[in-house]
Amino acid sequence: MKKLGLLGMLLAMGLFVGCESQAEQNRDAVEEAAGANAAAAQHAVGAATADDVEDEREDAQEAIEDANDANE
Residue 33 has pLDDT above 70, yes or no: yes
pLDDT tens digits, one per residue of 50-65: 777 788 888 888 888 8
Check pLDDT > 60 for residue 1: no
3-state secondary structure 2-48: HHHHHHHHHHHHHHHHHHHHHHHHHHHHHHHHHHHHHHHHHHHHHHH
pLDDT value of residue 63:
86
